[in-house]
């Protein structure tokens, strides 16, 4: 078997790999991307129509500068691909007093000068009569938020990368990665490749290729549902806000779906641990649906209590819920993983960061807080 050579091999071409391919190809590098499926597909973490993007980031203020750049890059991609990939929409955040969702968003907004409008429960009810929040809950509205059309974003990155000469090998599985500084070898079930560097973005499958990541990533099975809207109370559903609610029963997110007739929603908390993503249970059971349908009937007015559509997706959780984005010292490899159920919005900017790390040996983007060095080997 002869070995194919290129500048950079991208392993896993879903949300992040597709973005990395695009930014590498834009810089004139010869790129080969390898994916076990045919992205965009519904087997990993980047499917289900939409992904929320927001800037007053409750998870940590360090993400905000990355989000400014991510938003600009998504807009550039939309313009270049002539597709409506990103849409601005108000975001309603709500939670009990002291909730990390509200306090964290306020902290990010204060430190980065982002507009947030605080609302009482009554004000929420007047402005958004479709939400029924618990008595003691506080709320805030972010206007610098919106959604991304997730599959279209993946396809646009891949199409434009290929238009710049990148090659995409679908239906091919990476089996082994080896090498030394400056020299990477990759074996798949079909071929062997060599390159000066690589990007590994295999999502839920990452630890199968880098066993050391098994201590850092827990994969969770997540379900999401679409519920028909029943009445005109939603006004123009396409004008209704995106929401993220920190409720006693769990954290739930959602948004009016792009068909304008349904609400797409799911629980951010919970989810069973998945040992092997390749044998994931893809059937949706009544026990998957029950907590979400209960949330819908208790908290959202005039939405049918039975979903009309569902999907199964994967979260790759890191120990602290923050991303694992780093360059390995033993191999010339940038690894992006552990996106913990909130990563897609960053694919554009971290794809750019990966390309800069490989081409320039560094990046001006502040990503140090995402390094895996925060987990000493014997602590996790
Ligand atoms: C239900 C749900 C809702 C979410 N909501 C949001 C949201 O609103 N906002 C947000 O920002 N984020 C959200 N996320 C998180 C976000 O979608 C993920 O963090 C992101 O999509 C992860 O992208 P990825 O590239 O790491 O994984 P993937 O897109 O799954 O890509 C990994 C790729 O690697 C390939 N692969 C795996 N193993 C191999 C191998 N051995 N050889 C070759 N190829 C391989 C796979 O086929 C796949 O294409 C959500 C996630 C889920 C599941």
- Domain assignment of residue 61, yes or no: no
201 ligand 1 Cβ < 6 A: yes
- 171 and 127 in a single domain? The answer is no
pLDDT at 58: 98
Q: In this structure, are 139 and 15 located in the same domain?
A: no
We report the CATH number of the domain holding residue 35 as 3.50.50.60
Q: What is the C-alpha to C-alpha distance for residues 47 and 264, in angstroms, rounded to an integer?
A: 13
User: What is the bridge-based pairing of β-strands 309-317 and 218-228?
Assistant: antiparallel
Q: What is the pLDDT of residue 379?
A: 59
**pLDDT tens, 253-300?**
999 888 888 999 999 999 999 999 999 999 999 999 999 999 999 999
**Ligand 1 site, residue 344, Cβ cutoff 6 A:** yes
Catalytic residue among 51, 55, 89, 137: 51
> Which atom of ligand 1 approaches the CA of 175 most closely?
41
Q: How far is the CA of 124 from the centre of ligand 1 (A)?
A: 33
Q: What is the pTM of this model?
A: 0.98
> How confident is the model at residue 139, as a pLDDT?
97
Domain CATH number, residue 110: 3.30.9.10
Nearest CA to ligand 1 atom 35: 12
SS in 3 state form for the chain? Answer: CCEEEEEEEEECCCHHHHHHHHHHHHCCCCEEEEECCCCCCCCCCCCCCEEEECCCCCCCCCHHHHHHHHHHHHHHHHHHHCCCCEEECCEEEEECCCCHHHHHHHHHHHHHCCCEEEECHHHHHHHCCCECCCCCCEEEEECCCEEEEHHHHHHHHHHHHHHCCCEEEECCCEEEEEEECCEEEEEECCCEEEEEEEEECCHHHHHHHCHHHHHCCEEEEEEEEEEEECCHHHCCHHHCCEEEEEECCEEEEEEECCCCCEEEEEECCCCEEECCHHHCCCCCCHHHHHHHHHHHHHHECCECCCCCEEEEEEEEECCCCCCEEEECCCCCEEEEECCCCCCHHHHHHHHHHHHHHHHHCCCCCCCHHHCHHHCCCCCC
The residue out of 291, 317, 343 marking a domain boundary is 317
> What is the predicted pLDDT for the residue at 234?
72
Domain count within the chain: 2
* Pocket-testing residue among 12, 54, 177, 264, ligand 1, by greatest number of atoms within 8 A of Cβ: 12
Do 115 and 242 lie in a common domain? Answer: yes
**Helices 15-26/150-163 angle, 10° precision:** 30
Mutating to test ligand 1, I would choose from 339, 346, 353 the residue with most ligand atoms within 8 A of its C-beta, which is 339
Looking at residue 286, its pLDDT comes to 96
Residue 277 sits in the same domain as residue 160 = no
Q: Which residues of the chain have pLDDT under 70?
A: 232-233, 235-239, 378-380
Q: Indicate whether 119 and 228 sit together in one domain.
A: yes
Q: What is the pLDDT of residues 144-196, one digit of tens each?
A: 999 999 999 999 999 999 999 999 999 999 999 999 989 999 999 999 999 99
Interval between CA 123 and ligand 1 midpoint (Å): 37
Residue 52 lies in a domain: no
Residue 112 is a catalytic residue = no
Let me know if 137 is a catalytic residue.
no
Known catalytic residue at 215: no
Q: Is residue 57 part of a domain?
A: no
Q: Which of 313, 322, 342, 363 is catalytic?
A: 313
Active-site residue, 13 included: no
Nearest CA to ligand 1 atom 51: 341
The one catalytic residue in 23, 169, 345, 363 is: 345
Long-range contacts of the stretch 176-179 (C-beta < 8 A, 24+) = 176/209, 177/11, 177/209, 177/210, 177/331, 177/333, 178/331, 179/331, 179/332
Q: State the residue range of the domain holding 180.
A: 3-46+151-213+320-374
In a domain, 259, yes or no: yes
- Predicted local distance difference test score (pLDDT) of residue 210: 96
6 is catalytic: no
């Amino acid at each position: 078997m002869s070995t194919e050579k290129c500048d950079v091999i991208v392993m896993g071409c879903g949300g992040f790999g597709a973005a990395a391919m695009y930014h590498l190809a834009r810089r004139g590098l010869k790129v080969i991307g390898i994916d076990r499926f045919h992205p965009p597909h519904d087997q990993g973490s980047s499917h289900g129509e939409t992904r929320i993007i927001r800037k007053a980031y409750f998870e940590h203020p360090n993400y905000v500068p990355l989000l400014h750049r991510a938003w600009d890059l998504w807009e550039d991609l939309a313009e270049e691909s002539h597709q409506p990939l990103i849409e601005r929409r108000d975001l309603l955040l709500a939670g009990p007093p002291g909730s990390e969702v509200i306090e964290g968003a306020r902290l990010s907004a204060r430190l980065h000068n982002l507009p947030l409008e605080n609302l009482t429960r009554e004000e929420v009810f007047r402005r958004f009569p479709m939400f029924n929040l618990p008595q003691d809950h506080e709320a805030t509205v972010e206007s610098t938020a919106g959604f991304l059309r997730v599959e279209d974003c993946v396809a646009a990155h891949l199409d434009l990368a290929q238009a710049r000469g990148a090659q995409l090998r679908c239906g091919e599985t990476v089996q082994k990665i080896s090498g030394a500084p400056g020299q990477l070898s990759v074996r798949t079930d079909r071929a062997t490749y060599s390159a000066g560097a690589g990007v590994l973005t295999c999502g839920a499958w990452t630890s199968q290729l880098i066993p050391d990541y098994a201590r850092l990533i827990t994969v969770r099975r997540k379900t999401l549902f679409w519920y028909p809207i029943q009445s005109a109370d939603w006004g123009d559903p396409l004008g209704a806000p995106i929401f993220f609610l920190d409720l006693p029963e769990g954290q739930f997110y959602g948004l009016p779906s792009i068909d304008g007739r349904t609400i797409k929603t799911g629980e951010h908390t919970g989810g069973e641990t998945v040992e092997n993503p390749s044998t994931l249970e893809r059937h949706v059971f009544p026990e998957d649906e029950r907590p979400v349908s209960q949330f819908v009937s208790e908290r959202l007015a005039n939405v049918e209590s039975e979903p009309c559509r569902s999907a199964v997706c994967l979260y790759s959780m890191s120990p602290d819920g923050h991303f694992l984005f780093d360059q390995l010292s033993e191999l010339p490899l940038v690894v992006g993983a552990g996106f913990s159920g909130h990563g897609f919005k960053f694919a554009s900017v971290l794809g750019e960061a990966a390309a800069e790390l490989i081409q320039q040996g560094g990046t001006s983007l502040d990503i140090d807080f995402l390094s895996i060095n925060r987990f000493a080997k014997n602590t996790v």
